[in-house]
Homo-oligomer: A and B are copies of this chain.
Amino acid sequence: MAIARSHDLAEGDTLRRDFGWALGVVFRAYLKAANEATGTLPGGPRGHQVLEAATRQPPVSQSVIAQEIGIDRTVMTYLLDDLEREGLLTRRPDPADRRSRQVVATDKGVQRLEHLRALIARAQDYVLQDLDETDRTALRCLMQRSALKLDSLDPTAPCNVIQDITDSNCP
């Protein structure tokens, strides 16, 4: 269960108690493992996420995918170029709005994706190797809930983390 094991930590080790630090360590470890897992896939882990998005019905546009997985729209352009060149997905104009392009995984892309998922699952296991099955499920669940909430917020709005404190400090 989720019991603190603070005996692993020295008294003044404030860095390792920081949530931001833990988040960074886990994120980088995931990137490392997922990079191994995705192998030659263009874009590595990001290529995998694009491919996941490309299987959605109804199809989504480039800019929607870019926003969802947090990469710049200009980077999305050449990332899709690479994935399209490998025949894993196609871009086609949205019949309802020909400015935008729908990103659709090909059969080959779907096949590759199914293979990828097994490898990505092992990358997840690597990252969560110190947790038992119950805790893994709990962590995945809590992260997903937080992510869904954050994903629903306006990406252009500030987080307003400084307001109250500066107010109280500046009478």
Smallest distance from the beta carbon of A115 to chain B beta carbons, Å? 8
> B128–A2 contact, CB under 8 A?
no
Q: Which of A27-35, A76-84, A85-93, A94-102 contacts B (4 or more CB under 8 A)?
A: A27-35
* A56 partner, pick from B12, B128, B145, beta carbons under 8 A: B12
User: Chain copies in the assembly?
Assistant: 2
CA distance in complex: A38, B151 (Å): 23
B-contact bits for A13-45, CB 8 A (1 contact / 0 none): 111111111111111111011101101000001
- Quote the shortest CB–CB distance from A134 to chain B (angstroms): 10
Most B CB within 10 A of own CB, among A2, A10, A126, A148: A2
Residue of B nearest to A139 (CB): B142
Interface of A is mostly: helix
Interchain nearest-CB distance for A142 vs B (Å): 4
CB-based contact B26/A30 at 8 Å: no
Chain B residues, Cβ within 8 Å of A165: 118-119, 122
Q: Does A140 contact B (CB under 8 A)?
A: yes
CB 8 Å contact bits of A114-126 with B (1 = contact, 0 = none):
0000111011101
Inter-subunit contact B20/A144 (CB<8 Å): no
Q: Are the C-beta atoms of A21 and B147 separated by less than 8 Å?
A: yes
User: Could you list 9 examples of A-B contacts with CB < 8 Å?
Assistant: A2-B137, A2-B138, A3-B141, A18-B52, A19-B143, A22-B148, A29-B150, A39-B162, A142-B142
